[in-house]
Amino acid sequence: MNTTETEQEKRGALQRFATQLNWVVERVCALLVGVMVVIIWFGVVERYFLHLGQTWPEELSRYVMIWAALLAVSCGAYYREHIGLDLVRNILPGRLKRWLQVSLDLIGIAFFLFLAWYGIGMTKAGMGQYATIFGMKMTIPFASVPISAALTAFQMFAAMLLGQESTASPANTQ
């Protein structure tokens, strides 16, 4: 087995792991959105039909929405569907185009790693804070920042190493 075959196996393993990780994150996002819909539906029913006046559904649905939205960022990074400099990139020749893409990837990875690092501190600080309405420690909502940032940094890193320009998104296959 030569070096090229070993490198291709590593690239294949990285691609498989990134794809499987994205598959899991997409399902978690879908589940969270479903949970959010049920919570909001319950809030409407209990407020307008049962007249219970509970306030926790609004706050809980907000935290679930934050988790879903932030986790979805890594899916966008996997598919390379985030805002980019397409106008500039499209007029550049191949070699400069690749250099620009790698530069932007490195900037993005650095940003998301910084956000993950900062988010860890924020999550630790959340151990002493409680949600206003139902008393949950804020560690759980705050943990969405470092977890989603780390996932996004990984997906950007994998896409950069694999040289992906874009991946077929389910939204673009119809």
Instruction: Give residue 54's pLDDT.
Output: 80
The yes-or-no verdict on residue 167 having pLDDT over 70 is no
Q: What is the pTM of this model?
A: 0.84
Nearest to 52 by CA among 62, 61, 60, 42: 42
Most confident range (mean pLDDT) of 11-15, 103-107, 163-167 is: 103-107
Close Cβ partners of 146 (under 8 Å, ≥ 6 residues apart) = 115, 116, 117, 118, 119, 120, 122, 123
pLDDT tens string 132-157: 777 788 888 899 999 999 999 999 99
Alpha helices in the chain (DSSP H): 3-48, 56-79, 86-91, 94-125, 139-142, 144-162
Nearest to 18 by CA among 71, 75, 59: 75
User: Cα(161)–Cα(155) distance, rounded to whole angstroms?
Assistant: 10
Domain ranges of the chain: 9-165
Structure tokens that stand for 174 in this block: 């119809």
pLDDT tens string 34-65: 999 999 999 899 888 888 878 888 889 999 99
User: Cα(82)–Cα(75) distance, rounded to whole angstroms?
Assistant: 10
